[in-house]
Chains A and B, each alone.
Chain A
Amino acid sequence: MEYSLFFWSVMGWMVIWGAIGGSLIRHAYFMRDLDVTDARRVGVAVGAATGPFGLIPLYLKTPKLTRVWKIAPWLGVLGLFLLTFALSDPGNVCVSSGSFLTSQIANGLIMGTIYGLMALGLALIFSIIGIVSFSHGEFYMIGGMVVYYVTAVLLPGWNPLLAVMMACALTFCVGALFERAFLTPIYDGRVERPIEYSILVTFGLAFFLQYLVQGLGGANPVKADAFIELPRWRFPEDGSIIATSRANITLFDTIFVSTPRLMAAVVSILALLALIWFLFRTWWGKALRAVAQDRQAAAVTGIDPRIMNMLAFGLGCMLAGLAGAVLVQAFSWLPQTGAIPALRSFVIIVLGGLGSLPGAFIGGIMMGMIEAAGAGCIPDPTRAAAYLPAYGMVVLTLVLLLKPTGLFGRKA
C-alpha cells in the first residue's frame, strides 16, 4: 500500500467519530424523549461518514429518523472507505484495472449465490425448528464427497447432475433421520434446555460425520472433474461479446469467469427457483411456512408440526449438500472442508437476520462480494487468501455491535 499512513489515519478518524456519534446522538434523542431505537446506529453512520460536520446539525435538529436516514449515511461510509482505499493505494490492481474489478464483482456474485443457497438451508432450519445446526458444514462436505465418489469412482461417465441428485437425496435422508433420532426430545420438553442440547448434539453430529468420512474415504484431498467442458466458441467472430474456452468464459473482453463456478451458480439458481416454487406453490411448502409463522395455529389447521420439523431439517441439510455438490468441481475436497463454509453460513444468517429466508440469500450475495473484494484487493496476496475466513468475522463483529437482529431480522 503506497500511502498506508493516510489510509489508517482516515480509518481511525472514522472509528473515533463513529464511536462519538453513536453515544452523542443516542443521548440527544433520549434527552428530547424521542424514539431511540435507531438513534445509535444512525449516529455511528453519520459520525463515520461526515465527522463533526454532520453530527452537529443532527445533534441540534434531531429529525425523525426515516428510512433515508437509516440507509444514506451507511452508503456514505462505504463511499468514503472506497475513496480512501483508492487514493491511498493507486497502484492496486483493484483500482487501476477495471477489467479485474468487474471480474471480481462477477465472481463475487457467482460465489455469493452459492453461499446464499447454503445459508438458506441454515435459515430454513432456524425458522422452523428454532435451532442453529452446527453440522451444516459437514453436510456441505458430504455433498461434495458423494459427487466425487459417484463421478470418479463408482459410475464414471454418467451425467454429473445425477450425482448431484444422489448427493441431495443422501444429505436429505441423513438430515431427516438425524432429526427423528436426536432432535425429537426438544419439541416436547424432554430435555430441560433445548437450545443448548441442540447446539451440542449437532456439534457431536459434525464431529461424527467428519471422522466417519475420513475413516471411509481417507484424509487425502480429492477433486472432481468439471461437470462440462465448454467448446471453443466466439461471438461475434472476434469474440468481443462472448468468448469461451475450456475453463473460462470471457464477456465483453473484460469479465473473466471460470466455467466450473459458473456451472455451480447456474445449478444453484435452478435449485433456488425450485425451492421458491416448492415453498410458495405446493401444499407442503405452504405448510412449512405456516409452521414457521405460528406453530400452534398451523397445528390447529391440521398440519403435523413433527413432519414439518423433519422436512425442514432434511431440506436444510440438502441445501448444504447441494452447495457442496456443485462446488466440488471448483475446489479440492477434504473431510475438514466444511468448517469454513459453515462459519460463513453462520455469519450470513446473522447478517441477514436469524431465520429470515430472503435475508439469508441477500446476505449470501453480500458475503460473496465482500470475500471477492477482500481476496482480490488486499495488498498482500498470500495474506489476503489466508485471511479469507476473517472477513466474515469482521462482518459478524460489526453486525453484533451495531444491529444484532441483522438486516431483515425480527425482534430477538
Chain B
Amino acid sequence: MIRALPNTLGALGVAFLLAFPLLYAAGNYDYVMHLWITAFFYAILASSWALLAGYGGQFSFGRMAFMALGAYSAGLLDNYVVLSSAPTGTCAEFGLFGGWLVFINPTGVSTSAVNCLQAARAAWPEGVSTSRLPLIVSILIGAGVGGGFGWLIGTLVLRLRAAYLALFTVGFSEILRAVISAEVWITRGQAGLPMSPIFPDGITLFGTYFASNAKLPVYYVMLGLFLLTLLVLILLARSRIGLFLRALREDEDAAEALGVDTVKYKRTVFVVTAMIAATAGAVQGHYVGIITPNTLILLQMALVIAMAVIGGLENIVAAAVGAIIISFGLEFLRNDFVILGQSVDMSTWRLVFFGLLLMLTLRFLRNGVIHGGLLWLERRAVGAETVAKRRAGAEGSQ
C-alpha cells in the first residue's frame, strides 16, 4: 500500500493540475493562474537541471543563460522578421512559398526612427498583409540556438573536471548579460525586448473564446510543456543514457574503462537540457510579453538550484515538485511586515531565508526534502514487507 503511494500521488497530482483551471472558482483567478504558470516554468528549469546535476553530476550554472538564449532568439525573430505578401523594396528580404520573408532593420530604443517595414507600409497599396513568423517556428529556432550553444560549451569544458563547467557557465551567463545589456540597438538593453502573446488573436476552445491575455490557454500550454519535459527527462533517465550517466557520475574513470564514451553522453544530456531550458524561456517570454537581461542575474540561477536541491537533486519529479512549492512559497512570503517598529522588506529577506534553507538542506538532508521523504516511505514499505514475510515464515514453521 505504502509502496504505491508515490505513484498514486503523482497520478492524482496530474489530474488535479489538469482540472484545476476549470474547477477553481475563488477570487483572483488571473493571479492564481499566473502563479501556476510561473511555477511550471521554474519546474521545467529545475527538473532539467536535476537530470544534468543529479543524474549526470555536471554542475552547470548556465540554466538561465540557455533560457535567455531561447527567449531572445524567439524575441528577435518576433520583432525583426516578418512574413509579407508583397516585397517591401527597402528591407533585406527574399521570397518564400509565394510570400516574402522580410528582415527589418533594428532601430534600437528610439521611438522616432522609422524602420524599413513602416516606410514600406506607407507606400503599399491596400490589401497587403504582414504577419509574424508562426510561434512554433520561432520557439523551435530558439530551442535550436540554445542547443547549439550547449553543444559548443559542452565540447569545450565537459572533458575537464567538474569545477571548470561550473566556472565556465557562470562566466557564460555573465557575458551574455553584458552583451544583451550593451547591444541596445538590437536587444533594446534594459528597456527589454517586447514579445507578442502566445495566441496573438485569441483562441476558441470548445466554443468558448479566450482573448490573447487570457490565462487559461497559456496555463495548458505551460502545463503541457512541463509534462512533456518530465516525460522526456524520465525516459532519458531510464534509458541506457541514464544508466551511463549515473555510472560516470559515480566513477568517470571506471565508466570510461568499461567502454562508455563519457564525453559523448555528458554532451548529449547537456544539449538536451539546454534545449529544454531554451524552449521554456521562449514560451515564458511570449507569455510575459517582455524579456530583459535581468533574468540572467545570480538570483534566478540560485533559485532554480535551491528548488532542485530542496526538492531532491537525484529525483526529477521531486525537483519539479520542489520548484512548484518554492515558487508559491516565494510569492506568499512577499508581504512586508512590521516587527518592533521596524518594517521588514520581505522581498529581500525571503531570499536570505531560501539561501539559508538551501545550505541547510545540502548539509543535513542530502536527498532533499521530497526525495528524502519518498526514500523514507520506500524504506518503511520494504521494512513492513520483510517483517510480514518473517512473521509468516515463523508461523509456517511452528
A residues in contact (CB < 8 Å) with B: 131-132, 134, 181-182, 185, 191-193, 195-197, 199-201, 203-212, 214-215, 219, 336, 339-340, 342-343, 346-347, 350, 354, 382-383, 386-390, 392-393, 396-397, 400-401, 404, 412
Contacts and interface: CB of A to CB of B under 8 A. Distances in A.
Interface in B102-150: none
Given A132-B166, A200-B305, A393 B172 contact: yes
A200 B362 contact: yes
Given A207-B355, A400-B160, A412-B160, A197 B182 contact: no
Given A207-B302, A215-B345, A201 B363 contact: yes
Interface string B170-189: 11101100110110000000
Interface stretch (B53-61, B67-75, B236-244): B53-61
Nearest to A212: B352
Contacts of A206: 298, 302
Interface string B50-93: 00010001010100000000000000000000000000000000
Contacts of B2: none
B298 A215 contact: no
Interface string B196-211: 0000000000000000
Given A200-B59, A400-B164, A210 B298 contact: yes
Interface in B40-58: 53, 57
A340 B174 contact: yes
A215 B366 CA distance: 28
B178 A389 contact: yes
Contact of B174 (A215, A343, A404): A343
A200 B164 CA distance: 14
B171 A347 contact: yes
Nearest to A347: B171
Contacts of A203: 61, 302, 305
A209 B302 CA distance: 12
Given A215-B345, A383-B182, A393 B166 contact: no
A208 B356 contact: yes
Given A203-B61, A386-B182, A208 B355 contact: yes
Interface string B332-363: 00000000000001001101101110110011
A336 B174 contact: no
Nearest to A397: B156
A274 B74 CA distance: 54
B167 interface: yes
Nearest to B359: A204
A346 B167 contact: yes
Contacts of B182: 382-383, 386-387
Task: Please give me the 5 A-B residue pairs with the lowest Cβ-Cβ distance, nearest first.
Answer: A208-B355, A386-B182, A207-B302, A204-B358, A211-B351
Contacts of A400: 156-157, 160, 164, 168
A132 B352 CA distance: 22
B171 A132 contact: no
B277 interface: no
A349 to B, nearest CB: 9
Contacts of A346: 167, 170-171
Given A199-B166, A392-B171, A386 B178 contact: yes
17 contacts: A132-B167, A182-B362, A182-B363, A200-B59, A200-B305, A201-B359, A204-B302, A207-B355, A211-B348, A215-B345, A336-B298, A383-B182, A387-B178, A387-B179, A389-B178, A396-B167, A400-B160
Contact of B352 (A201, A215, A390): A215
Contacts of B221: none
Contact of A207 (B156, B170, B174, B298): B298
B219 to A, nearest CB: 30
Contacts of B366: 191-192
A204 B345 CA distance: 21
A390 B175 contact: yes
Interface in B294-342: 297-299, 302, 305-306, 309
Interface residues of B, number: 44
Contacts of A396: 167-168, 171
A398 to B, nearest CB: 11
Contacts of B181: 386
A172 to B, nearest CB: 20
A123 to B, nearest CB: 13
Contacts of B305: 200, 203-204
A203 B178 CA distance: 21
B5 interface: no
A196 B161 contact: no
Nearest to A386: B182
Contacts of B160: 400, 404, 412
Nearest to B181: A386
B34 interface: no
Contacts of A340: 174
B163 interface: yes
Nearest to B299: A207
A215 B349 contact: yes
A342 B167 CA distance: 10
Nearest to B170: A343
Given A201-B362, A214-B348, A350 B175 contact: no
B352 A211 contact: yes
A201 B167 CA distance: 15
Given A390-B178, A396-B168, 12 more contacts: A182-B359, A195-B163, A199-B163, A201-B363, A204-B358, A205-B359, A210-B298, A339-B298, A342-B170, A383-B182, A397-B156, A400-B160
A380 to B, nearest CB: 9
A185 B164 contact: no
Contacts of B302: 203-204, 206-207
B269 to A, nearest CB: 15
B169 to A, nearest CB: 11
A199 B162 contact: yes
- Interface core residue of B59, B358, B359 (most chain A CB under 10 Å): B359
A44 B57 CA distance: 33
B161 to A, nearest CB: 6
Contacts of A197: 362
B120 to A, nearest CB: 31
